[in-house]
Amino acid sequence: MSAAADTEAQIEVRELTMAYGSLVIQRDLNFIVKRGDIFVIMGGSGCGKSTLLKHLLGLLAPATGDILYSGRSFVHATADQQQAMRQRWGITYQSGGLFSAMTLAENISLPLQLYTRYRPAEIRDIVAYKLALVGLAGYQSYYPAQISGGMRKRAALARAIALDPDILFFDEPSAGLDPISSSLLDELISQLQQSLGATVVMVTHELPSIFAIATNSVYLDNSTRTMIDYGDPRHLRDHSKQPVVRQFLNRSAAAHEEQS
């Protein structure tokens, strides 16, 4: 049975090749992200993880291949159709991507003002609720510079869930955070995924995050410039037939032994 026949597939990547001119970044990518997955894109530095995320978001066009959302091609859709698809996504970036000159309330209000017909009072209520969901109740009037890095990550997440998205995309969500803040963010992502019923796609190299919350993954290889394994990262850690994948996923065990 092909991936297209899997009714649980929310995202399907078909024969995708990513390139900058004649420079091929990754080729022949084929995988699905099922509804409700917390799906991790992983691999060594410079393998094309963030480039793949940009292709999934439609920020870059593939050299060849297709990306389907709920069975509909994004690559071959019209601009209006693509915009309609994007409105069902929530996105957070490494830095958080908050507008520094806006308060947290103004940041989170923006997608609601652009894409809904809610009245101002309704938007205020939604903003308060979204901030409460991420543990920032009462922080509406704060500016990004007035809160910690971990709090900015959570505020960015509140903005990403403002429209109750079907899919949440994260680019290195734990980057720059201490281990405790990173762990709390992982828990928050998992809780929101369950409460929203959303699908999560994240780029990360942080093993604690991968093993704490990921349900599925794809490994992009630097040397062959293609995916060399795909599946639950806990299974791949112990049973992947690719030594480089096992080595990548067992870095934490090696570090622990050195510290013992």
Confidence of residue 258 (pLDDT cuts 50, 70, 90): very low
Question: What integer pLDDT is reported at residue 24 of this predicted model?
Answer: 96
What percent of the chain clears pLDDT 90, i.e. is strictly above it?
78
Q: Does domain 1-88+200-260 have CATH number 3.40.50.300?
A: yes
This prediction has a pTM of 0.88
Question: What integer pLDDT is reported at residue 60 of this predicted model?
Answer: 96
CB-CB contact of 201 with 56 (8 Å): yes
pLDDT tens digit string along 75-110? 999 999 999 999 999 998 877 789 999 999 999 999
Question: What integer pLDDT is reported at residue 252 of this predicted model?
Answer: 57
Reading the block at residue 153, the tokens are 């990550």
- Please give the Cα distance from 59 to 52 (Å, whole number): 10
Q: Assess whether pLDDT exceeds 80 at residue 10.
A: yes
12, with CB counted inside 10 A (0-12, 13-18, 19+), is buried
Q: Assess whether pLDDT exceeds 90 at residue 219.
A: yes
Mean pLDDT, the chain, rounded, equals: 90
Residue ranges covered by each domain of the chain: 1-88+200-260
What is the mean predicted confidence (pLDDT) over 233-252? 93
Question: What integer pLDDT is reported at residue 173 of this predicted model?
Answer: 87
pLDDT tens digit string along 189-205? 999 898 889 999 999 98
Work out the angle between the directed axes of helices 149-160 and 104-115 (0-180°, nearest 10): 20
